[in-house]
Amino acid sequence: MRKRSHRVRAVLAGVATAVLGLAGCDAAAGGSSGTGAHTPSPSPTPAWDTSPGSIAAVGDSITRGFDACTVLADCPEVSWATGTSAEVDSLAVRLLGRTRAAGHSWNHAVTGALMADLAGQMTKAAAHRPDLVTVMAGANDACRATTSAMTPVADFRAQFERAMATLRQAAPKAQVYVASVPDLKRLWSQGRTNPLGKQVWKLGLCPSMLGDADATDAAATLRRNTVEKRVEAYNEVLAEVCAKDRRCRFDGGAVHAYRFGTAQLSPWDWFHPSVDGQARLAEIAYRKITTRAA
Q: Which of 284, 288, 207, 268 is nearest to 75 (CA)?
A: 268
Q: Which of 68, 113, 58 is nearest to 260 (CA)?
A: 68
* Residue burial 107-143, b: 16+ Cβ < 10 Å; e: rest: bbbbbebbbbbbbebbbebbebebbbbbbbbbbbbbb
How many Å apart are CA 172 and CA 120, to the nearest integer? Answer: 16
- Average pLDDT over the chain reads 88
DSSP state of 294: -
For residue 9, is pLDDT > 50?
A: no
Pairing of strands 175-178, 248-250: parallel
Q: Which residue has the higher pLDDT, 21 or 86?
A: 86
For residue 13, is pLDDT > 80?
A: no
Q: Which residue has the higher pLDDT, 15 or 110?
A: 110
Looking at residue 292, its pLDDT comes to 87
User: Mind listing the pLDDT tens digit for each residue in 74-110?
Assistant: 999 999 999 999 999 999 999 999 999 999 999 999 9
Sheet holding 55-59, edge to edge: 105-107, 55-59, 132-136, 175-178, 248-250
What is the average pLDDT across 255-264? 96
Q: What is the largest CA-CA distance in the chain?
A: 116
For residue 132, is pLDDT > 80?
A: yes
Q: How many Cβ atoms sit within 10 Å of the Cβ of residue 87? A: 13
CB 115 within 8 A of CB 138: yes
For residue 276, is pLDDT > 60?
A: yes
Tell me the C-alpha to C-alpha distance, in Å, between residue 69 and each of 111, 215, 255, 273: 15, 29, 21, 10
The structural domains of the chain, ordered by start, are: 55-290 (3.40.50.1110)
How many Å apart are CA 198 and CA 185, to the nearest integer? Answer: 14
What is the average pLDDT across 4-30? 38
User: Mind listing the pLDDT tens digit for each residue in 198-233?
Assistant: 999 999 999 999 999 999 999 999 999 999 999 999
Q: Which residue has the higher pLDDT, 115 or 6?
A: 115
DSSP state of 69: S
Q: Could you tell me the pLDDT band of residue 42, with boundaries at 50, 70 and 90?
A: low
